[in-house]
Each structure stands twice: as structure tokens, then as C-alpha cells.
């Protein structure tokens, strides 16, 4: 009887530890990413000239996907991002901007996200757009002005249709609409700090 009580107590303790770890990780990724001390905000409407930084620039609007292959939030966002590329790739140029402290190849990143789209490794692009966390989206209009910079979704797993901020922004830009005043959850960065993967 004592042995059975010990086993039950031990299993209860292990279950509690596992639940606490899951709760902590979920709570941690719901917190906003700390704003860096030297952060310089970039307002929507700011003209951004990438010159030769973006490969094969076209006259389409530009969607920059700021990504770190080691960021759990970037991994959660993968399927949502692929859906955006598949839905709007004919009208919008998609480019992955890798923000990592490690060296990766284009093929490695394309394999990680499951898409053969342009990849760049230039962290100054993030500074130009006011991005300091991954995953983040920045959408630049044909006039080279920042139309949207922010989150993909309010949900960690990008499953909430009502708050699909990046998709809503793409559709607004393609319809030549002014971007409505953004929700705080759209503009406040959540995810991993750059270039390191930590929250």
C-alpha cells in the first residue's frame, strides 16, 4: 500500500512538473518581446529604399517575412505563412529575411519553410522596417512606402481568422485601401528577439 502511494505521489509530481513547464512556455510566448534600448520606431507611410538588397525586385508590393529558423514562434507560423504565399504570390513578391546569429544557406532556409522563394541575410532590412522580433511581417507598397509592419495573428498558432493581421493588410493594399488604425496586438511585437532566439 505504501509502495502504491509512493508511485501515485511520484506520478502526480511528474505530471505537475510537465504541466508547469507547458504553462511557463505558453505564458512566456504570450508576453511582448522586450523593446531594445536602441530601438528606432518606423511609422507606416515611411519611404523605404532597399536599392539592391532585395533580389529580383518587381513592381509588385513587397512582403518581407522576418524569420529565425530557431524561433519556436517562427515554426508555429510556418503553415500560415505558406498559405499567404500560395494565396497571394501572383500579386505580391514574398521575400524571407533571416535574422539569426548563425550562418545558414538559402537552400537550408527554403527547406525549413517549405517554399522556394527569395531569401536574404541582411539585418539592416529589419532596422529599416522597425522590426526587432521574429516572426514579423512588413509590407511595402509599390510606392516603396511601409504599409504594414507587425504580427501575423493574435494567436500563437496563427489560427484566428478575425486577427489575421498580415492577410488583412495584404488584401487592403491590393484594394488600394488605407490601412485602418491597427490593433495593439497587431503592432506590439511578440516572439523571439533578434538576432538571438530568446524571449
Provide CB contacts within 8 A for 165, sequence distance 6+.
137, 148, 150, 151, 152, 153, 154, 182, 183, 185, 186
The residue assigned the cell 537550408 is: 108
pLDDT at 86 over 60: yes
Q: Residue 38 region, left (φ>0) first, then alpha (ψ -120 to 50), else beta?
A: alpha
Q: What is the pLDDT of residue 27?
A: 46
Residue 2: the pLDDT is: 65
Residue 92 banded pLDDT, cuts 50, 70, 90: very high
Q: Which has more pLDDT, 96 or 74? A: 96
Q: What is the pLDDT of residues 17-57, one digit of tens each?
A: 654 544 445 544 556 788 888 888 898 899 998 777 887 77
Distance in angstroms (rounded) separating the CA atoms of residues 59 and 22? 45
In the predicted model, is pLDDT for residue 199 greater than 50?
no
* Cα 155 from Cα 161, distance rounded (Å): 9
The reported pLDDT for the residue numbered 66 is 96
How confident is the prediction for the chain on average, in pLDDT? 83
- Residue in this structure with the C-alpha cell 494567436, named with its chain if needed: 155
Tens digit of each residue's pLDDT (9 = 90 or more) over 129-182:
999 999 999 999 999 999 999 999 876 666 677 788 999 999 999 998 887 666
Q: Which residue has the higher pLDDT, 106 or 11?
A: 106
Q: What is the mean pLDDT of residues 78-87?
A: 95
Q: Is 174 exposed, middle or buried (0-12, 13-18, 19+ CB in 10 A)?
A: middle
Amino acid at each position: 500500500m505504501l509502495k502504491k502511494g509512493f508511485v501515485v505521489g511520484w506520478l502526480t509530481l511528474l505530471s505537475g512538473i510537465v504541466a508547469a513547464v507547458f504553462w511557463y512556455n505558453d505564458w512566456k510566448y504570450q508576453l511582448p518581446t522586450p523593446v531594445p534600448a536602441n530601438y528606432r520606431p518606423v511609422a507606416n507611410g515611411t519611404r523605404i529604399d532597399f536599392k539592391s538588397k532585395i533580389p529580383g525586385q518587381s513592381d509588385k508590393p513587397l512582403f518581407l517575412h522576418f524569420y529565425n529558423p530557431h524561433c519556436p514562434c517562427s515554426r508555429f507560423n510556418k503553415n500560415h505563412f505558406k498559405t499567404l504565399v500560395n494565396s497571394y504570390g501572383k500579386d505580391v513578391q514574398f521575400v524571407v529575411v533571416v535574422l539569426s546569429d548563425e550562418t545558414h544557406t538559402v537552400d537550408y532556409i527554403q527547406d525549413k519553410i517549405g517554399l522556394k522563394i527569395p531569401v536574404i541575410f541582411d539585418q539592416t532590412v529589419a532596422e529599416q522596417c522597425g522590426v526587432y522580433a521574429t516572426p514579423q511581417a512588413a509590407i511595402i507598397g509599390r510606392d516603396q512606402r511601409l504599409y504594414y509592419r507587425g504580427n501575423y495573428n493574435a494567436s500563437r498558432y496563427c489560427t484566428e481568422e478575425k486577427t489575421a493581421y498580415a492577410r488583412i493588410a495584404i488584401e487592403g493594399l491590393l484594394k488600394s485601401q488605407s490601412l485602418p488604425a491597427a490593433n495593439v496586438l497587431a503592432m506590439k511585437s511578440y516572439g523571439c528577439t533578434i538576432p538571438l532566439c530568446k524571449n
